[in-house]
Amino acid sequence: MQKPWEINEASIDLLRDRENWAGSFYELALAFDAGQLEGSHRHRLLQEVWSDSQLQGVVSERSDFGKAWLSPAAVSTAAGHHSYGCMRLSNGQIIGCGSFFIEVKPITWFVFYIPLGMLGLVFPVNYPLFTQDNPWHIEIDEKLASLGMRLYQTFPFELGALGEEAGAVVSLERLREAVRNDDALLVPERLFQQMQIPPRGSRSPEGLWWTGGKNEPKH
């Protein structure tokens, strides 16, 4: 799909620069039962992700930025293989991002990420990454949560998490334990019901709750 924005030469240079991919990742990590992402389903998921109006991609190597985009259906979906692209922020600036799969049976994780090195080109990144010291969290969390909610329409997942190295918490049980008080989760309504706790945050029409969202439905 043709996007209404283009990448100029300056952006291509920025995207190719390996220094800008340094540091940890700010991630959207989604947990799926392994059987949900068999066969062509991984490619279909990638196609859904990279069709987002604020994303462009993909390439298999960062040095390939500036060349013709590959179809997400043409790239490897093997665990640990990265696909690279870019994101347009609300101020029009373009930064690099990527995605990959992790297999921790019986769960397959899909991780979409933005390197903190890229975010640091646009925003002050202050450690520890508390929102009060990093107001960019608001925009980035909104983008990642919205992407997760859109994906849930077609690929309902078990649980999702946002934040720095969110995909490093590969134990689904550990994330479930955090449902009561973590404001950086995407939680299916049925999980709240199973745990017998009231849902909180903002709810998608499909019954997915972003625990850090405002108390109004997302459409």
Is 195 part of any domain? Answer: no
Number of other CB atoms surrounding residue 172 within 10 Å: 16
Is 61 part of any domain? Answer: yes
Is 192 part of any domain? Answer: no
Q: How far apart are CA 216 and CA 196, in angstroms?
A: 21
Strands 159-164 and 55-59: unpaired
Question: What is the tens place of the pLDDT at every residue in 42-74?
Answer: 999 999 999 999 999 999 999 999 999 999 999
Q: What is the pLDDT of residue 2?
A: 56
Q: What is the pLDDT of residue 101?
A: 95
Q: What is the pLDDT of residue 131?
A: 80
Res. 1: pLDDT tops 90: no
Is 182 part of any domain? Answer: no
CA distances from residue 137 to 164, 173, 218 in whole angstroms, order as listed:
11, 26, 18
Q: How far apart are CA 208 and CA 103, in angstroms?
A: 23
Q: Which of 61-65, 97-101, 125-129, 196-200 has the lowest mean pLDDT?
A: 125-129
Q: Helix crossing, 136-154 with 41-50: angle to 10°?
A: 140
* Phi, psi for residue 179 in degrees, rounded to 5: -60, -35
Is 58 part of any domain? Answer: yes
Q: What is the rounded average pLDDT for all residues in the chain?
A: 91
Is 206 part of any domain? Answer: no
Q: What is the pLDDT of residue 6?
A: 86
- pLDDT interval class at 215 (50, 70, 90): low
Is 194 part of any domain? Answer: no
* Phi, psi for residue 53 in degrees, rounded to 5: -65, -20
The stretch 80-101 carries a mean pLDDT of 96
Answer yes or no: pTM beyond 0.85: yes
Q: How far apart are CA 55 and CA 114, in angstroms?
A: 12
Domain housing 164: 22-170
* Phi, psi for residue 202 in degrees, rounded to 5: -115, 145
Omega prior to 106 cis, within 30 of 0: yes
Q: What is the pLDDT of residue 170?
A: 60
Q: What total number of domains does the chain contain?
A: 1
The stretch 114-124 carries a mean pLDDT of 96
Q: What is the pLDDT of residue 217?
A: 40
Is 108 part of any domain? Answer: yes
Residue 187 or 1, more confident? 187
Local structure of 106: helix, strand or coil: coil
